[in-house]
Amino acid sequence: MAEPVQTPQASFPPRIFSGIQPSGGLTLGNYLGALKRFVEKQEEGIETIYCMVDMHAITVWQDPEKLRQQTREGAAAFIAAGIDPARSILFNQSQVTAHVELGWIFNCIARMGWMSRMTQFKDKAGKNSENVSLGLFAYPSLMAADILTYKATHVPVGEDQKQHLELCRDIAIKFNNDYGVNFFPVVEPVIEGAATRVMSLRDGTKKMSKSDPSDQSRINLTDDADTIAKKIRKAKTDPEPLPDTLDGLKDRPEARNLVNIYAALAGHTPEQVICDYAGAQFGTFKPALADLAVAKLEPITLEMNRLMQDPAEIDRILGEGAARADAIARPIVDQVYDIIGMIRSRR
Ligand code: TYM
C-alpha cells in the first residue's frame, strides 16, 4: 500500500452536488432541508449539480411506471422551486453511468465495519435485514460515488444524511491513501438553517418522511392549499402558549418543530419567530403558519402541475443535464481507472 498523504483541500475548486430519491412524493422536509437550500446555493453563483437518484430508489422495489412518474415529478419540483436548468445541472442518475462504475470501485474501498454502522440502513432494514437488498446495504457507497465522480466539495443535505457524508469523507481519504494520490476532495457537509430536520406533524420526535404510513404526518409538495391548512391546524401540539425564549421549547418537540418550520419558510431565525409570537396560543400561531405555508408552497405546487403537463420537456431537460454531467464525470472516472491499474485499450 502506498504512503498516506494529506489531502490539501485548497486544490479543489468549490462545486456543489446533491441528490433526492424519486421514491415517493416530496415532502416539506425535502423542500426546507434540501430543495430550498439548493436554490440558495445556485443563487450564490457556485457551480451546482443536482440529481434525481433513481439508482438509489431501486434499493427497494419500485413500480417502473411510478418510478418514471416520480422522477419527472421530482425534476418538476426542482424547477418549480427555482432551480434553473441553464445555471444548474439537473439530471437523473441512471443516465450517467460514471456513478455506478465508481460506486463499484468504492464498494472495494469501503469496509464492512463502516457500512455496518450506518444507522439509516439499520432503521430501514429493521428486523428484516436478512431480506433486504444488497443494494440497500451498499447504498452509502454509491452515494459517495455520486458526489466524488464530480469531485464535489460541498453537499447541502438535511441532518439525516450526515453519517453518509462522513462515510464519503472516509472513502475519499482511504482512496487517496491507498493509492498515494491527492485525487478526491474530502467533502464538507452543508447542514444549515432552521429546518435541517423537519419533524412529523403527528409526532415531534419522528422525522417527517414520505414513508410514514400517515399522510397527516407530512405536507406533500403536491398538497393543495386546503389540505396544507388542514394538516397544520390538526398538527399535534401541547396546551401551553409559545414561550418567550427558545429555551422554553426544549421539552416541547411539536411546538419546536412548528416554530422551526415557520422560521425556515419565512427566512427568519427561530429566535425571531419566538420574539414575534411570545405568549401566543396555537389558536393564533397555527393559522399564521398555515397562511405562510400556503403562500410559499402553493405557487410551487401550481408550477409543478403545469410542468407535469409536458413530460417530454422534463425528459429533455434531464437528458441535456445528463450530457453536461457526463462531460464532467467521465474524465474523472477514466482517471480513477488509470490510478487503480485497469487496462484501457478499447477503441
Ligand atoms: P432523500 O431522498 O431521503 O432526501 C432528500 C433530501 O431531503 C432531506 N430531507 C429532510 N431534511 C429535513 N427534514 C426532513 N424531514 C427531511 N427529509 C428529507 C435529506 O436530508 C436530503 O438532503 N441519500 C439521499 C439521496 C442521495 C444524496 C446523494 C444526497 C443520494 N446520493 C449524494 C446528497 C449527495 C436520500 O436518501 O435523500
- pLDDT tens-digit map of 63-78: 999 999 999 999 999 9
Q: Are residues 319 and 300 in the same domain?
A: no
Overall number of domains in the chain: 2
pLDDT at 1: 53
| 279 grid coordinates | 405568549
Q: Are residues 50 and 120 in the same domain?
A: yes
Interval between CA 120 and ligand 1 midpoint (Å): 11
pLDDT at 222 over 80: yes
Query: How many other CB atoms are there within 10 angstroms of residue 216's CB atom?
Result: 15
Residue 161 lies in a domain: yes
CA distance 216 to 104: 39
207 catalytically annotated:
yes
**Domain ranges, residue 240:** 215-306
Interval between CA 34 and ligand 1 midpoint (Å): 7
Q: Are residues 233 and 273 in the same domain?
A: yes
210 catalytically annotated:
yes
Residue 198 lies in a domain: no
Q: Are residues 299 and 317 in the same domain?
A: no
Can you tell me which atom of ligand 1 is nearest the CA of 164?
23
CA distance 183 to 194: 34
Q: Are residues 88 and 178 in the same domain?
A: yes
- Position 128 confidence tier, pLDDT thresholds 50, 70, 90: confident
Q: Are residues 132 and 222 in the same domain?
A: no
CA distance 105 to 141: 9
Q: Are residues 46 and 186 in the same domain?
A: yes
* Ligand 1 pocket mutation, candidates 20, 141, 211, criterion most atoms within 8 A of CB: 20
pLDDT at 189 over 90: yes
pLDDT at 127: 87
Q: Ligand 1 pocket: which residues have CB below 6 Å?
A: 17-21, 29-30, 33-34, 53, 56, 143, 146-147, 155, 157-158, 160-161, 164, 195-198, 207-208
- pLDDT tens-digit map of 325-343: 999 999 999 999 999 999 9
State which H helix or E strand residue 319 sits in.
helix 311-340
* Confidence (pTM): 0.96
Q: Are residues 160 and 239 in the same domain?
A: no
Q: Are residues 322 and 267 in the same domain?
A: no
Residue 330 lies in a domain: yes
Q: Are residues 148 and 220 in the same domain?
A: no
Q: Are residues 113 and 225 in the same domain?
A: no
> What percent of the chain has pLDDT above 70?
97
Could you tell me the CATH number of the domain that includes residue 31? Answer: 3.40.50.620
Q: What is the mean pLDDT of residues 235-252?
A: 96
From 66, 162, 174, 210, the catalytic residue: 210
